[in-house]
Amino acid sequence: MKALRFELGSPAALFAFEAAGRHRNFTRAARELGVTQAAVSKQIRTLEADIGVELFYRRHRHVELTETGGMLFDVVSKSLGNIVSTINIVRERGQARPVVIAATLAMTQYWLMPKLPVFSQIHPGARLRILSQDEPIDLRSGVADVAIRFGKGTWADGDARHLFDSAVYPLAAPEYLARCGPIKGAADILGQCLIGYDEVDPTWVGWTAWFAASSEIHAHPDIKLQCSRVTDAIQAAARGQGVVLGWRGLTGGLEESGELVRVGDQAMQPNGSFYLVTRKGIGENHEVKVLVDWLQNEAVAIEPSRVSSGALASRRGAARPR
């Protein structure tokens, strides 16, 4: 059997033939291939001479495939298309696909992003894509590989691994406390400039739920500043505008830096925890496993908050910050 190279003749002639047949025009084919019209015409004549049949009818301003030319064009076009598709698949497999991790804006901004520089130093070859949005993502869609969620750990679209427990308590900037303190109990907090955020999900913890869980307070809180997102509310509090509800672990970085400090010793225990949820079938992927194991190890450092005997009672239902 002869080598394919000699059976097929000139590969350049086949490319010229495919382009000319697709455009039905030698000039446009030449423009696509980056050669002259004369070069395309010569390649076509070479191919016709090699196989012994005419492939095009030459018209005044265009060309048309002959019956034999049309038959050959269909085979060449499909074959070259299959080669290109296969090469692209192989190329994609050879390139490292980024691990996509989805979480709420608050989680990515205050917990995840501050940790990633260390992860990148330890794993310099890792490729990540952070998908920040408060709307829930179904991992079965393939949009994300890993999600950080708050709840009971039972989701149909992935496998959950416990990340950390949390607690909800008031936070304020030191300058605000110096100006408006001292603040000790829930009664004192009620009289402060309270910063709230929209509770688009009824299970989210806001000031009304927080005070309702206290045996001391039976009044509707007066929210002085209402934000659509918890991230804006937290930033307002960090700039000394009032008191906001924070989440242990989630706002830990701001507490560690001293930008926000605990107000009083009362905390509400939400009925749920934070979890890492991996898309089914991808948990053993090396890149995913490295990231999930590292994040879970980072969460070990989050110690339970100290809640006094006067702490607020747990609230029924999952609570999820926005």
pLDDT in tens, 148-172: 999 889 999 999 999 999 889 999 9
Would the pTM of this model clear 0.85, i.e. be above it?
Answer: no
* Same-domain check for residues 66 and 85: yes
- Whether 305 is in a domain gets the answer no
pLDDT at 318: 41
* Same-domain check for residues 140 and 200: no
* Same-domain check for residues 105 and 90: no
- Whether 318 is in a domain gets the answer no
- Whether 309 is in a domain gets the answer no
* Same-domain check for residues 280 and 161: yes
* Same-domain check for residues 160 and 212: no
Pick the range with the lowest mean pLDDT from 161-165, 207-211, 214-218, 226-230: 214-218
Whether 167 contacts 270, CB under 8 Å? yes
> What CATH number has the domain bearing residue 107?
3.40.190.10
pLDDT at 33: 92
For 33-63, write each residue's pLDDT tens digit. Answer: 999 999 999 999 999 999 999 999 998 888 9
Residue numbers of the domain that contains 233: 168-262
Q: What is the mean pLDDT of the chain?
A: 85
Does residue 108 have a pLDDT over 60? yes
* Same-domain check for residues 25 and 85: yes
If you average pLDDT over residues 271-276, what whole number do you get?
A: 89
Domain count within the chain: 3
| 262-296: b (≥16 Cβ within 10 Å) or e | bbbebbbbbebbbbbbbbeebbebebbeebbebbe
Distance CA 160, CA 130 (A): 19
* Same-domain check for residues 147 and 294: yes
* Same-domain check for residues 173 and 253: yes
pLDDT at 180: 87
